[in-house]
Structure 1
């Protein structure tokens, strides 16, 4: 029997009661307050794993992109860089919210901002430039003001609501 046998039993019980699939039932059980232990309960039994999602994830018109952001962020930290291009693009657009439109960033500052999310800053920086959300010229980076033109292949990767997500990037205030 695993350490989380009681947790799994609660999830399966919810599945039977509601007809939900395992993933949905698991999320609902994680959102519930943990059950209180009876007096003399076993101290070696760990509570179910907690899961922290990105705090400011706003639901948009692309649920797949929102799910990718919730799946790959642990608070403000990126757990790992997604290998699937569609999820990677959604995560990168979420990271773009840490920048301001209308402001020039030296590479050192871009690195500092990205380091708060994940240690592989060079990959994140390069991907933001490759997707043309950050423009680089002479070691200075700037968030683009308009959605870049996309080929049909690129349109399959970027979130469907790319323009709305780009519009959420804060504008620099003088």
Structure 2
């Protein structure tokens, strides 16, 4: 059969995926945590780079840091607003980009408790999706000391990924608007 490719039945190879460095300014008050960058984000070396991910459109509506801006300007605007971004995981194995494909047991968490010690003004962690929150609870929260537990508010938010179609855009944005309340309350 010429021109017809047979679909492979072999399992997709897992790749080791690593997070970017934290984007946290000295006056950061809210740290947004994702799981680990997608394939598109890794290829472009930009967090939330998939064109259909709602993260940057939401940041545009909430903090004037939308996708029409250069990536470094978006980061700078978030930082001026008091927001940092990072990932729960430092490394993991994951075939493709779906959080559900992260290979359990391969998960290596980022040094979030240590980051909070060097940035004591951070008083809230917001989680981009259930998987980020689940991984945080499994790997990082047990490493928090009593002071960190007492001072840091945890805010799980719906994933901005296009794979999360169970919640409509308007409802997701409404929930993400809680970031503004966190920042207003911290002043």
Bin the TM-score by the shorter chain.
under 0.3
Higher helix share: 1
Higher strand share: 2
- Provide TM-score, normalisation by structure 1: 0.26
- Provide TM-score, normalisation by structure 2: 0.25
Which structure's relative contact order is higher, taking Cα pairs within 8 Å and 6+ residues apart?
A: 2
